[in-house]
Copies of this chain bind each other. A is one copy, B any other.
Amino acid sequence: MSQNFTLQSTDGTARAGVLHTRRGSVETPFFMSVATRAAIKAGVGMEDLESINAPLVLANTYHLHLKPGADLIERRGGLHEFMKCDKPILTDSGGYQVFSIKRKKITDDGVWFHSHIDGERFYLDAEKSIEIQHQLGADMIMAFDECPPSKLSATSFENTAPKNRERKLYFKVKRAVERTTEWAKRSLAAHQAKYPATLSPTERPQLFGIVQGGCFPDLRRKSLAEICALPFDGFAMGGLAVGEPPVEMYKVLDEIVPDLPTDKPRYLMGVGSPTDLIEAVSRGIDMFDCVYPARNARHGTVYTWDGELRITNQEFKEDDGVLDPKCECPTCQSGYSRAYLNHLMKVGEDLGKRLITIHNLGFYHQLMREMRVQIQAGTFESWKTDVLKKLR
């Protein structure tokens, strides 16, 4: 197959399609469960992912490079064999994590940084990031990018006079856009050195480019033009959901997504809440990943079709109902009550975190499948209006 993406139907700007990978095809739009260190949090296992029909998994290059090391995972036969995952895996480039670290030195070549675990010094650049991702054996990999802050924040600009901050942020983001383009070219070259462009995208890992530019429309357009001119297998929006209000993110999507190629998958990195997913799908995004559903589950926040609930609240102490009667996840289908989950979370039993994580991830995947159904039926916009009223 020479194309890796089949667009099946559109409803307004929302899209339903299929992404073809060397490890099977996945219907879009979809959400990726996050397995940062080669495991979903809260003890959720592969058989749990199977039970909620999770289509694929995301793992983090930065964390796995540090521990246990990409060499070790390669010697084990790659990430799929290591974590016993038969679904397609996407790895990020490590860029996002590295740029979140305080102790780092960025040059046009790459980044020196200190491990968050033991302070050990590491170097990452386009070639190294691609090499690591090849070693991990992911089916979709990401170009190495610079992810600058999207907004002024007290900490990152504390030594800059307030009147100069906006200007300083602009130039910071501009330089990140320029570097991201250079590193994208180097990422592509490193990728094609191992997997020639003559191979079809279902015979090799696919490489996605990342569009940066913060919340500056001109920089976003510049980045988009440069990145989309390169022969990537898909295109990601990076540097969003990093602190800016959701409406600003939606504005960036409004401006940028229409100019993305229609024949390639579009990935909004690190997003987001159920509302964010719906708003982004409505603007033409196909792929998502986010730590929200699992992280919030561990703090007792449950997603339902009627909005969020805090399971540790007193009101659920004697509630014999399941988390969401419309939910198809094993936690709800097995009949675990809100009262039981309230008890487990209040006494700190790990089973509570696990059952709610399964539910929240299950809810996310159901939400994605429901959006696909609505897009194919041409009813997405009215469905969106109804659902957002309940979720908000």
Contact = CB atoms under 8 A, between A and B. Distances in A.
Interface of A: 37-47, 67-68, 72, 75-76, 82-84, 317-318, 320, 330, 334-337, 339-340, 342-344, 346-347, 349-355
Most buried by B among A46, A347, A352: A347
A122 to B, nearest CB: 16
A318 B68 CA distance: 10
Contact of A76 (B68, B334, B337): B337
Contacts of A83: 340
A76 B339 CA distance: 8
Contacts of A350: 39, 41-43, 350, 353-354
Contacts of A76: 318, 320, 337, 339-340
29 contacts: A37-B343, A37-B347, A37-B349, A38-B340, A38-B344, A38-B349, A39-B344, A39-B351, A39-B352, A41-B350, A42-B43, A43-B350, A43-B353, A43-B354, A44-B351, A45-B351, A45-B354, A67-B346, A68-B339, A68-B342, A72-B339, A75-B318, A76-B318, A76-B337, A82-B343, A84-B334, A84-B336, A84-B340, A350-B353
Nearest to A353: B43
Contact of A334 (B46, B336, B346, B349): B46
A41 B348 CA distance: 10
A291 to B, nearest CB: 14
A41 B343 contact: no
A39 B341 CA distance: 10
A314 to B, nearest CB: 12
A378 to B, nearest CB: 39
Contacts of A37: 343-344, 347, 349
Given A343-B67, A346-B67, A43 B351 contact: yes
B82 A337 contact: yes
Contacts of A67: 343, 346-347
A82 B318 contact: no
Most buried by B among A39, A72, A320: A39
